[in-house]
């Protein structure tokens, strides 16, 4: 059996869903489990809705109405008004109505997961209904009953034994009856609350199902021809990799390559399942295959940009050296605030770190650090990571920019710039 994952760009409109169905038809002789992300930029819109609800701003209902209108316009292009999918989608959106009717009391991360998760629940309702309408027998599956996580909201940690048992118990029989359509990015807790697996976590969902089911392969369908050495939105002369090894792919995702979620590779590597990255606009194109013995050929350096970064420096209040005890406490506070470090550098009197900016987590971290340390920071920065850099790569990419931190090893250069 095969696992397919379709991202938001591939289902951003009615034409995208029609194309998805045409791709699926080419594999009608295979058992398929299909993981689908929220449509287009819906997750971004739901993030704005979450913030508006928590802040109780006047535009909250306008944001929600725009989200609903976007989805109903797609529905109207695909189905007759009497189709039952309209009720399914309306009933799903009601979960947000219930969530925002009272003033917020829970933590931001908990609220985020309950609201933002609706994007995947709606998109999969629409995709599954269209496949059935198009003659492709499919069943909608609520992933929250199969991928079990702890209560770490926005970064749910998978409980593998329970997840493996749930998937193994029910899914093979469902696959024997037709395609299974389910949500990426989501999990469920033992208290039946929704968790998310981290931004762009649908790839990870696909790899979890593949590992638990012993899939032949995972294919993630993208709006690019495969894995490129750089983001084509920022760089014109990109090159595609035909193959990559698991280890190189892990390195690239660790440093922030957005084409694959960082946690995706490990379950596949453990189970020796290849990952294919292919263009949904050209299903017959070879794309990129990631596998154990993948051959890594680097015609150009791999360039990874992470924007909206914070560079924070911590020092002691009495100007003493940064010791192992200090570092232990600093790392504890980062873990407690759920802030992941992208680059770190130590000097005699300070410890500097670069990380993604999430307002609520940053404010919590800052308050905790300032109790015992002096803290300085710069925000709205960019982290440039260059894998397999050439002699002039760093200079070319930092030309005209102010370099705030630089770290170079044998294979990787990282530079924080303004």
Count Cβ neighbours within 10 Å for each residue of 146-167 and write b for 16 or more, e otherwise: bbbbeebbbbbebbeeebbebb
| Long-range contacts, stretch 225-228, CB < 8 angstroms, 24+ apart | 225/279, 225/282, 225/285, 225/287, 226/277, 226/278, 226/279, 226/285, 226/286, 226/287, 226/288, 227/252, 227/257, 227/259, 227/260, 227/277, 227/288, 227/290, 228/259
50 has binding-site annotation = no
d(CA 274, CA 217): 5
d(CA 164, CA 143): 13
6 has binding-site annotation = yes
SS3 label, residue 376: strand
d(CA 324, CA 65): 52
Sheet of 32-36: strand order equals 138-141, 179-183, 32-36, 2-6, 217-222, 275-279, 288-291, 243-245
d(CA 249, CA 416): 22
Residue with tokens 């995706």: 264
Please say whether the beta carbons of 357 and 308 come within 8 A.
Answer: yes
8 has binding-site annotation = yes
Tokens of 33: 């489990």
Residue with tokens 């208290």: 191
256 has binding-site annotation = no
d(CA 206, CA 229): 23
Please say whether the beta carbons of 124 and 138 come within 8 A.
Answer: no
| Nearest Cα residue to 322 out of 297, 294, 348, 304 | 348
Binding site listing for substrate: 43, 120
Binding site listing for ATP: 5-8
Binding site listing: 5-8, 43, 120
């Amino acid at each position: 059996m095969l696992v397919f994952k379709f991202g938001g760009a591939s289902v951003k409109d009615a034409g995208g869903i029609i194309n998805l169905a045409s791709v699926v038809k080419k594999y009608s002789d295979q058992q398929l489990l299909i993981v689908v992300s929220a449509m287009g930029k819906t997750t971004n819109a739901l993030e704005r809705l979450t913030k508006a609800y928590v802040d109780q701003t006047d535009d909250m209902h306008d944001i929600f109405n725009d989200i609903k209108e976007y989805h109903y316009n797609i529905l109207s292009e695909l189905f007759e008004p009497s189709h039952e999918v309209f009720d399914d989608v309306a009933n799903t959106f009601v979960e947000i109505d219930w969530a925002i009717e009272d003033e917020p009391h829970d933590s931001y991360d908990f609220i985020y997961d309950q609201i933002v998760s609706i994007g995947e629940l709606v998109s999969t309702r629409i995709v599954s209904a269209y496949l059935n309408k198009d003659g492709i027998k499919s069943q909608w599956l609520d992933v929250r009953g199969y991928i079990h996580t702890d209560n770490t909201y926005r970064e749910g940690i998978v409980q593998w034994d329970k997840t493996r048992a749930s998937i193994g118990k029910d899914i093979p029989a469902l696959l024997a009856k037709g395609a299974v359509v389910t949500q990426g990015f989501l999990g469920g807790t033992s208290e039946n609350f929704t968790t998310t697996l981290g931004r762009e976590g649908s790839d990870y969902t696909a790899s979890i199902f593949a590992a638990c089911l012993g899939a032949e392969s995972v294919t993630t369908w993208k709006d690019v021809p495969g894995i490129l050495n750089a983001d084509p939105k920022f760089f014109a002369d990109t090159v595609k990799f035909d193959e990559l090894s698991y280890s190189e792919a892990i390195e690239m995702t660790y440093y922030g390559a957005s084409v694959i979620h960082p946690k995706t590779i490990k379950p596949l590597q453990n189970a020796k399942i290849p990952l294919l990255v292919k263009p949904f606009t050209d299903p017959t194109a070879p794309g990129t295959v990631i596998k154990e013995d993948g051959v890594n050929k680097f015609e150009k350096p791999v360039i990874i940009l992470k924007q909206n970064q914070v560079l924070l420096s911590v020092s002691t209040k009495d100007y003493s050296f940064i010791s192992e005890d200090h570092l232990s406490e600093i790392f504890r506070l980062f873990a407690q605030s759920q802030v992941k470090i992208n680059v770190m550098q130590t000097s005699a009197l300070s410890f500097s770190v670069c990380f993604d900016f999430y307002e609520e987590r940053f404010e919590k971290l800052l308050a905790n650090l300032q109790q015992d340390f002096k803290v300085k920071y710069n925000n709205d920065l960019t982290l440039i990571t260059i894998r397999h850099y050439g002699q002039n790569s760093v200079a070319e990419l930092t030309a005209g920019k102010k370099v705030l931190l630089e770290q170079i090893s044998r294979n990787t250069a990282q530079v924080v710039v303004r």
